[in-house]
A = this chain, B = another copy of it.
Amino acid sequence: MSGKRRIPVKPERMLAELDRLRRIGGAGKGVRRPAFSDADMEARVWLAARMKEVGLETIVDPWGNLFGLPPGDGPCLLVGSHSDTQPLGGWLDGIYGVACGLELARAARETGGPRIACVSFQDEEGRFGGLTGSAVWAGTMAEDAADRLTDAQGITLAEARRRAHEIAEVREVPPKLFSAYVEAHIEQGPVLDRTSEMLGVVEAIVGVRSTTLVFSGEANHAGTTPMPMRRDAVRGFYRFANELDAAFAPLVTERTVWTLGRIVVEPNAPSIVPGSATISVQMRDPDATRLDRLLAEALAVARRVAEAQKLDLSVSIGFTADPVPMDAGIIEALADAAARVAPGRWRRMPSGALHDATNVSRVLPSAMLFVPSIDGVSHNPDENTKRSDLEAGLLALAEAIPQL
């Protein structure tokens, strides 16, 4: 364990800034600050001003990603997340990581600590696409493809991002300026809250496999069609779902999740034997090999049930993302720091949701630190985290960063 001293952050400053930012786009307990909305622009201008105050150079790239760069030469650490929100989101999703980056950069500047840059990526919450700013920045999405993305009103990202210059000087900010990326974020799930833990060191952002299955049978009169003559699509669905649970049991770990979230039945009337049932199957796991095996197993179960129930089956493969492991060195530094800041009240865990670190990890060693979400609530005005947990996250970063 290195003995380099903790960056002397002042958590109360960060908390005051989070309270201030909550009012930019504030709507009741929640916040409306979608990418490139007036509120989003106001928040980014406000953040740029704070960065400038402590001598960071503020630059916005052409995609609206706002950077605060410390003076000096050579690659430095990048800390941040995003400051845009869901159409009606909570007060911490994204901005907590940006506020941590700002306070860490500021405290380091004030006390001669390490060089730290901070960032707020743009459109993480998907007014246009989701993770768009970090995707283009890290080169995982082509610029012309990004520019063609549209919001719900048909406005293109190409059009919306013309406002970037209102935030700061517009210039490319190449990843090579940075040595690594650390993102703090609320968990957006119930694990830390239920276990009364304060910190989660993210080992991997889980991968996703998904498929849409359509069981097709024959819609018939529910009174006149005897059971053996039915080709009941809903029966296909529920037999499939039960057999899937049994088939998955020996293959999964406690970190695997699978969800049948969307069911559409036709014609969907009490007196008609269902003619078709469309089902979404989504699997998430930190291990790509396991994910592939689960997908194959799901399709095998579906085919077996369709045959047994005399149903037709059509399969389409949906959203697919491979797991993204976090950087082993940063994980260990964060784990050491978490053990000191919150002894016995932290854990290693996967991230079940995607974050900007998913993209940034393609170009920089990256890692994430979670703080609890009360009741697991997020993307909702009720989203909240204890102030002591928000402080703990900042302190753990302040402890870990000097060791990197």
Contact = CB atoms under 8 A, between A and B. Distances in A.
A339 B376 CA distance: 70
Contacts of A238: 237-238, 241-242, 260
Q: What's the number of copies of this chain in the assembled complex?
A: 2
A1 interface: no
B261 A270 contact: yes
Given A241-B238, A242-B238, A229 B263 contact: no
Interface string A223-256: 1111111001011011101100000000000111
Contact of A222 (B232, B237, B242, B259): B259
Given A224-B376, A226-B191, A268 B259 contact: no
A359 interface: no
Most buried by B among A223, A228, A234, A351: A223
Interface string A352-380: 11100000000000000000000010110
Interface string A317-332: 0110000000000000
Q: Which of A206, A221, A241, A376 has the most CB of B within 10 A?
A: A221
Contact of A226 (B235, B257, B272): B257
Contacts of A273: 259, 261
A227 B245 CA distance: 11
Interface in A186-212: 187-191, 194, 206, 208, 210
Given A225-B190, A242-B242, A376-B225, A261 B271 contact: yes
Contact of A270 (B221, B232, B259, B352): B259
A226 B351 CA distance: 11
A308 interface: no
Given A225-B352, A226-B254, A238-B237, A376 B220 contact: yes
Complex A-B, nearest 6 residue pairs according to Cβ-Cβ distance, in ascending order? A189-B224, A223-B352, A270-B280, A224-B352, A238-B241, A222-B259
